[in-house]
Amino acid sequence: MERLLSVDQVAELLGTTVRFPRRLIEERRITFVKVGRHVRIPETAVATFIAANTVEPSTVRRAVLRRAA
């Protein structure tokens, strides 16, 4: 069985306020589970969200960008 995290735990893991994971849930941008009236987020859903929103650094140097402009 996969570990389910509370909204508070997800906020702490992401380093945000509780409002951010609640907004993700409301906008259906992250997978969640309702256990009675409680909302839980699978640990893999948090990892997937982080991976999907990770921006890789650019390998193009700024000097090259200035010349192209």
pLDDT digits (tens, 9 = 90+) for 43-59: 999 999 999 999 988 88
How far apart, in Å, are the Cα atoms of 47 and each of 14, 20, 28, 53?
10, 16, 16, 10
Q: Is the pLDDT of residue 66 over 80?
A: no
CATH of range 4-56; options 2.120.10, 1.10.3470, 2.60.40, 1.10.1660: 1.10.1660
**Which residue type, as a one-letter code, is found at position 29?**
R
Q: Whole-number mean pLDDT of the chain? A: 91
Name the packing angle between helices 19-26 and 7-14 (round to 10°). Answer: 110
Confidence of residue 6 (pLDDT cuts 50, 70, 90): very high
